[in-house]
Structure formats: C-alpha cells, structure tokens
Structure 1
C-alpha cells in the first residue's frame, strides 16, 4: 500500500523524522558483500578471502552473542539460587532460634520448680524457731541464726542474693539438727518429728527438681553446642549453663 499521499500529523512528524534518521544512519554504517569485495580488489585481496572473512567475522559475533546470552542466563540462575539459599537460611535460622529458645524456656521453668522448693525450705525456718523457743529458750544464738537466715532469703532480690541466702538457710538448718542431736527432749517432741518429715520431704522434692533441672540444662547445652546450631546460638547470645550441684553442698549462681 502506497502511503506517500497521506499526510502525517504535525505532532508526530519530529518523532518520525528522528527514527527515519536513525534507520538511515544505521544502514549507511554497514557495507554490502559486493562493496567489500570491490574494496578488497583495490588492495589486491581475492574475493574468496573477503567472503571467508565475512563468514568468519559473522560466526565470531554470533558466538559472542551466544556467550553473552549464556552468561546472562547463568547470572539469572545464580541470583535465583542465591535468593533460595538466603530464604532457606532465614527459615532455618528462625526454626533453630525457636528450638533453642524453647530449650532455654524449659531450663527456666525447671529452675522455677527448684526455686519453689528452696522457698518452701526457707519457709520452714519460723517453725524451727518456734520449736527451739519451746524446748531451748536459752539457745538465743541458734534462734538468731534461724531468724537471720529466713529474713535474708525473704529480702533476697537478685539471683546472687538468693544464692547467698540459701547457703545461710542450709547452715541454719544444719545447726538446728546438730543441736537436736544433743537435746533429747527436743528430739523426742512431736513438733520436731513433724518438722523432720517436712524438711526431709522438701529435700527429696528438691533433689527431684534438681535432677529435672540438670536434664533440661543438658538438653539445652547439647543443642547450642552442636553444629550448625552453635552458629545461631553464638550470634544471638545463648550461653552454656552450669549444672546444679547438690544444694546442701554447693549453691551455684542462680541462672537469670
């Protein structure tokens, strides 16, 4: 169809002229095979060599284009793979954090049970005071030791304070027991017998809770120390926890 008779709208005329100029420039920048052969004759290059050179250069450019396309495709694959790896690492890190945090929560819960028994043990002190006052009023030093240990535990606010107060409670109870062994009247009283049962029962429950706490600590420590979990644990500040030794022998720092 001949469109030469049609008029071009004025508003698109500049764009048409610009595009036509580009087409013309692009066409004039190239050479036909016959033009290259003619140019080769001027410098005594046979036509077959010109034709072969044209084929070789075209093949080279085609190969370069293919290589560029392959490189672009490879970069896309690497980008997709890297995105997948980052996503997988993010999911794994979140799962590992939740798993470690869950173990840490179990340790905290187990410690709370240990602390309950320590509190229960300290709460027996007033009863020991009453028994001592009933059967050994002259033992003011023992009564004072019992009262101080109980007050120290009640006033303990920080983990270190509670650890120190627990040692005082242990010492006071041991002192009371030692005194009871040399006071037949106290030792034979029903109040003392009942307290002995209470103390023994509390210590047995404390031993059970200590065992459960240590089991929770063992599971937690194994989780944060195994590869690759320790990478997340170290980054997020999860630290190894100490086992709880027998409370009447050594009272470690209460975990926060």
Structure 2
C-alpha cells in the first residue's frame, strides 16, 4: 500500500515538474514572439520613413542642384538603415539618418518656394507622423523586451531559458546626442 502511495507521489511530482517547465517554456515563446512582432512594426515604419525620405530628397533636389554632398549623405544613411540586420545596427543607422535629415532640412530652409510646395509639405507631414509612430513602436518594443528579459532571468525561469537557449533581447535605444527627431516644421 505504501509503495503505491509513494509511486503516486513520485508520478505527481514529475507531472507538476513537467507542467511548470511547459508553462514557463510557452510563456517565454509568447514573449519572444511579442518581441519579434514589435520589432517588425518598427521595421515597417523605418522602411516607410526611408521611402518618404527618398521622395523628399527628390523633391528637394528639384529645387537645389548645388547641395550634392547633403543628398549623398542622406542616401548613404538611408542605405545603411535599409541594410541593417540587428537591433544594434538599426539603432546606429537610425541615429546617422536622423543627423543627415537635419542637414537636408537645413538645405530646404534656403529655398522659400520649396517650403511652399504642396508635395514637399505633404511629405514633410507624413515624415513627421512616421517619426511619431517610430517613437511609439520603439517604446512598445522596449516594454516587451523588458518583460521578456525579466521573465527569462528570474528563477526558475532562468534555468529553463538557458536550457532551451532563449537569448537576451536587445533594446532599441536612440543616441543620447540626438534627443530630438529631425525638425520637419518650417
């Protein structure tokens, strides 16, 4: 009789143990997917901004042929952002692009007829909205990363996370020297 009770307790402990492992594993998978989904939203907005910048550069080019260096810098920064693969590479490329956009808008400031151009104003408005979305999605992404990283680092989750090789997620930070988004208001 005691052997049967002892065997039942061992089976119950094993079932509880595996239930905990499965629950932690599934919660880590859900959070990891949340991190990837939030990153995807940032990428969508970064690509949208890249396309808008291309249109903006072409519009400004029509008004100013003398500013070749600025256009090349914006184009190179945009290309760097489009080719970035990791969160860190995206973060660095985003900071470079923000700096070059400031130069582009400084060029546009020299052309009053450009500032009144409807197409330019529409692109400027769309870029401003996209910058706001990027900031919002960056905040959401970083909140999900915090939740995921906390979940994978607490005990006993850390044992399971390490066993199944759940990597630490990177935050998407902005350059502390670029506290403001490019000024798109003329």
Where on the TM-score scale, by shorter chain, does this alignment land: which range?
0.7 to 0.9
Q: Is the 8 A contact 2:50 2:78 kept in 1?
A: yes
Deviations 1:174-212 (A, max 9, x none): 211222234333333323222210110101111121122
137-146 or 241-250, which moves further after superposition?
241-250
Q: Residues 163 and 222 from structure 1, CA distance in 2 versus in 1: closer, same or farther, beyond 3 angstroms?
A: closer
Instruction: List alignment gaps of at least 5 residues for structure 1.
Output: 1-72, 251-256
Runs of 4+ more than 6 Å apart: none
Q: Hey, what's the Cα distance between the residues in 1 that align with 2:128 and 2:58?
A: 18
User: Could you say what secondary structure the match of 1:124 adopts?
Assistant: helix
* Residue 211 (1) aligns with residue 135 (2): no
User: Could you say what secondary structure the match of 1:212 adopts?
Assistant: helix
Residue in 1 that maps onto 2:42: 114
Q: Hey, what's the Cα distance between the residues in 2 that align with 1:197 and 1:221?
A: 36
Residue in 2 that maps onto 1:231: 159
Q: 1:137 aligns with which of 65, 69, 94?
A: 65
Residue in 2 that maps onto 1:4: none
Q: 1:158 aligns with which of 48, 61, 85?
A: 85
108-117 or 217-226, which moves further after superposition?
217-226
Q: Hey, what's the Cα distance between the residues in 2 that align with 1:168 and 1:224?
A: 32
Q: Hey, what's the Cα distance between the residues in 1 that align with 2:57 and 2:7?
A: 75
Q: Hey, what's the Cα distance between the residues in 2 that align with 1:239 and 1:174?
A: 36
Instruction: List alignment gaps of at least 5 residues for structure 2.
Output: 180-186
Aligned residue-pair number? 177
Q: Is the 8 A contact 1:122 1:169 kept in 2?
A: no
Q: 2:128 aligns with which of 185, 193, 200?
A: 200
* Residue 171 (1) aligns with residue 68 (2): no
Q: Is the 8 A contact 1:153 1:162 kept in 2?
A: yes
Q: Is the 8 A contact 2:42 2:134 kept in 1?
A: yes
TM-score (normalizing by structure 1)? 0.60
Mapping of 1:21-100 within 5 angstroms?
Answer: 74=2, 77-100=5-28
Residue in 1 that maps onto 2:171: 243
**CA RMSD of the aligned region, Å?**
2.6
Q: 2:117 aligns with which of 168, 173, 189?
A: 189
Higher Cα Rg: structure 1 or 2?
1
